[in-house]
A and B are shown apart, each in its own frame.
Chain A
């Protein structure tokens, strides 16, 4: 019997320490057939079980074109993430998914792309960045604007150097600089002035804390972005991933099945900021 709540076994292939509180886990389903059939769109997420500790939603941060595995980039914030951080190569975990709508990548063809993210919000965007990089010819110019607390917490800095070499314009900013920091200081919106993309032919993909998304949307609108050109990935409390538990309810929509990606026009319709 298959139930949508049943975790399937997967194994950890690799663990990489990214920053002091963040690790990237590369995993694959134990059942090779299942792994083979597995595909996803960037922005989708999985429900990940650490047996005995619980289950949490995690965005897939690896390339959708790499089919032998998937990866998660996880910040240690609580019970389950803490337990996950003690996993080693070869350990087992449970997976369900993928869930959510993901970014509508086909609709971005021929367009410039602006990625805006804060902190761990880069996880789902990384997957989209890989997708864009893989099919470079299909897209226009690509810019990535990334805001972090401090230089030590910048994720994927090595990869970003590579992306830079591959023609993606990468810009980072921090709230609290270290003495050695030579880059931009301030919130991520303070980078927008550097963007060379003309709003008409660009889509913006956003992921990060609620405040960041709120202000980024305002600033982008000022720059001339239309609501249909901006896509944000929302974080909500989730327990099931399939619209049963109702934790991620926003108005009549569910972040887990109708989202987590919403365009700004949809966000306007929804009571996102209920307070």
Chain B
């Protein structure tokens, strides 16, 4: 994976989503211009009219959005085929995020949606990992620009970036915030991957899990804690399924809406 001298060919793709993540990348502004010295954007519908002929193969593809239709799926598979390295960008692409709320709708509403849809859609919304091999995940809604830059920098040097598997509380403590749980407010920090610099708790707002649940989450314990704090079953269900699919361990929260 040595890129060294050649410019890396980069593509940005959006499946169904708000496109905030690619916009967040654009917000790197000067730093992005600097990175442009090392990369060549060869495909981006938001930025240019025509795909560059050199885009037949990509060194790295950034894909945001989730797969909601056959069209999205075809596009994703096409991107995977022509890219050496595929990065899922943002909550929609990594954990199905907000669009994934649809998956848990009661059957009646689901039917309604199906009936309403003009173009064929999939019954459920899926993150990219459900269909293709994803080489790296940049989590968050929206992504953290600094994390993007760090990743890109590592990648351009030929390093294999590793996911840092720590919970939000880790970074929250480093920022010396007063813990919301201790104040009696619900927070998903203990079960959510960090990397955001504990952005929400640092602004006195609960973590809502936009970076996905950790592989080491103790849902039962946190749920018990929320109950103690005074959250109703429905509120707890709401919170745990804000961005994420309801974990197996919390099946008991499910109920009629």
A residues with CB within 8 A of B: 52-53, 78-79, 82-83, 86
Contact = CB atoms under 8 A, between A and B. Distances in A.
B184 interface: no
Instruction: Give the secondary structure class of A's interface.
Output: loop
11 contacts: A52-B157, A52-B159, A53-B159, A78-B160, A79-B159, A79-B160, A79-B161, A79-B162, A82-B160, A83-B159, A86-B2
A78 B162 CA distance: 9
Contacts of B157: 52
Interface of B: 1-2, 157-162
Given A52-B159, A83-B158, 13 more contacts: A52-B157, A53-B159, A78-B160, A78-B162, A79-B159, A79-B160, A79-B161, A79-B162, A82-B1, A82-B160, A83-B159, A86-B2, A86-B158
A86 B160 CA distance: 13
Nearest to B161: A79
A53 B2 CA distance: 13
Instruction: Give the secondary structure class of B's interface.
Output: loop
Contacts of A53: 159
A82 B157 CA distance: 12
Contacts of B158: 83, 86
Nearest to B162: A79
A78 to B, nearest CB: 6
Contacts of A79: 159-162
A83 B158 CA distance: 8
B159 to A, nearest CB: 6
4 closest A-B pairs (Cβ-Cβ)? A79-B160, A82-B160, A53-B159, A79-B159
A101 to B, nearest CB: 30
A79 B158 CA distance: 9
Contacts of A78: 160, 162
Contacts of B2: 86
A142 to B, nearest CB: 39
Contacts of A82: 1, 160
